[in-house]
Amino acid sequence: MPYYHLFEMTHAALSPYRAAADVARLYFQNPFNPLAHTPVGKTIAASCEMFERVTRRYGKPEWGLNTTVVDGQEVAVHPQPVWERSFCRLLHFERAVPEDRPADPKILLVAPMSGHYATLLRGTVETLLPNHDIYITDWEDARVVPLAAGRFDLDDYIDYVIDMLHWLGGDTHVMAVCQPSVPVFAAVARMEADDDPDSPLSMTLMGGPIDTRSNPTAVNKLAHDKDIGWFKRHVTTQVPFPHAGFMRDVYPGFLQITGFMTMNLDRHVDAHRKLFMHMVRGDGDNATKHKEFYDEYLAVMDLTAEFYLQTVETVFIKHALPTGTMTHRGVLVDPSRIRNVALATIEGEKDDITGGGQTEAAHRLASSLPDDKRLHYVQPGVGHYGVFNGSRFREEIAPRLAAFIRRHGTKDPAKNPARPAATPQRKSASERLIEALAANAPAPGSDAAPDPTSAFLAAPHGTADDLTLISGVGPRLAHMLNEAGIWHFWQIARFTEADIKALDAKLPSYKGRAVRDKWIAQAARLAEKQPIAIV
């Protein structure tokens, strides 16, 4: 029997006992019950609560960030989704600040997709909010994503990062915490190689496994000692019924959290022993702090098997990024093409997940980056979690990052020859696409009828359709499609394989998007709802 099914059956079998334990806890905590004030009653209540906590499934935590302080004034905060795909939402922490107030630096905070929810970075967001405009990746639990939504692997992760940077625009600073350091670094390298105007202003990598050959930890050694086949056989399985992701191959979250806890089992056992004693003694403050931490730490999600396996093989087994063999959609990732995006790397002195020097390796790989665009800092006395959360992060790391971001807050065309403010001689990818594929379309303003056999037009036939109605097409991409000669749903519905390949070749930042998001089928349905006569 697959172990995911066994886990579900065990969880279901324990449900009556959890309910009974909860009833007993309430009985022995009732202030009108004389036993509630005795050592025996407190011990029984604490034991019942401990049983319920260690056997429950922890749901996705709430952000709980309702206010922040901006310019000395408390303002409301509203997390709002502004961009969405099957496996991720982009949340914007909107602050109720005056409209005429100067804009703060815009940060894309890329949360780890490594088992925990993005709320693990609650402290990071809370620290940065007063002085920054924060967007964060809110990754979805693969267990609840239907199989019909398709695959999601490391290449897709990089695509998502690039798409979000395109949506946010070129005045963005990107910050990656732990696992996403590799795909974010790869995404920026790809964007710089394409002279993408939406490349971020700066990139911060915090405790990320850029080169796991440096000071390997227990996590690194496990991957080194096993081949990819071992991981596929032993840690991936299918989502059982009745979850929405039924039959999807995943790396279950409960396996990941089990692995993390066994690395420091004595520490976690001691923490739960202390929690039990706090509850028996009625020490509410310390008990609450413990519960809040483990409510977050034990809330885990499943990862798609293809993403997990590709990440293990690329980052931990083949060391593809530092050895120069990593590819994205078949294109070599070349970190030496990073010339304009300022780079900051942060490490923890006592990090037992990402060893010292693993993140700093990014500076060696980004060999073309000027020295005045670099920052490396090792925080004394902190482990992996302390790199992005806690008092040391608030008091020592965050101020350094804020200063770094402010220092690299604008693009200087004089120092950025690869992306000049205005270069009439250089044609955009969309302009080249029009020349290559729309040569037989009428010029703008021409009275000639458009060629109905061409997938690309130089001008819309009548009123252009709202291409953002297609899932996966935002305002920026819709504009680029218009520039490329795509104005109507019926054009996309007619796409041939050759049209898609041509579009991928000319717009490499969006390569594969039309196929992955099923544009043709979507456009056909929309065209039926909005029929347009073609003459």
* Residue tagged 């940060």 (tokens): 107
Question: Considering the chain, what percentage of its residues have pLDDT values greater than 70?
Answer: 89
Average the pLDDT over 43-55 and give the result: 89
Per-residue pLDDT for 419 more than 80?
no
User: What pLDDT, on a 0 to 100 scale, did the predictor assign at position 513?
Assistant: 79
367 contacts: CB under 8 Å, gap ≥ 6: 335, 336
Per-residue pLDDT for 535 more than 60?
no
User: What pLDDT, on a 0 to 100 scale, did the predictor assign at position 438?
Assistant: 39
More confident residue, 200 or 216: 200
pLDDT band at 530 (very low <50, low <70, confident <90, very high): low
pLDDT band at 273 (very low <50, low <70, confident <90, very high): confident
Each residue's pLDDT tens digit, 275-292: 888 888 888 788 888 888
| CATH of region 67-258+267-408, choose from 3.40.50.970, 3.40.50.1820, 1.20.120.420, 3.40.50.720 | 3.40.50.1820
User: What pLDDT, on a 0 to 100 scale, did the predictor assign at position 529?
Assistant: 66
Question: What is the H or E stretch that residue 136 is in?
Answer: strand 133-139
Q: Whole-angstrom Cα distance, residue 201 to residue 174?
A: 8
109 contacts: CB under 8 Å, gap ≥ 6: 121, 124, 125, 128, 134, 135, 136, 137, 175, 177
Q: What is the pTM of this model?
A: 0.73
User: What pLDDT, on a 0 to 100 scale, did the predictor assign at position 420?
Assistant: 38
Q: By C-alpha distance, which of 194, 122, 124 is closest to 165?
A: 194
User: What pLDDT, on a 0 to 100 scale, did the predictor assign at position 349?
Assistant: 93
The full set of domain ranges for the chain reads 3-55, 67-258+267-408, 451-528
Average the pLDDT over 344-354 and give the result: 92
Average the pLDDT over 308-334 and give the result: 94
Average the pLDDT over 392-407 and give the result: 94
Per-residue pLDDT for 397 more than 90?
yes
Backbone angles phi, psi at 372, to 5 degrees: -75, 0
- Least confident range of 229-238, 293-302, 356-365, 523-532: 523-532
pLDDT band at 454 (very low <50, low <70, confident <90, very high): low
Average pLDDT, the chain: 84
More confident residue, 250 or 473: 250
pLDDT band at 421 (very low <50, low <70, confident <90, very high): very low
Q: Whole-angstrom Cα distance, residue 373 to residue 200?
A: 13
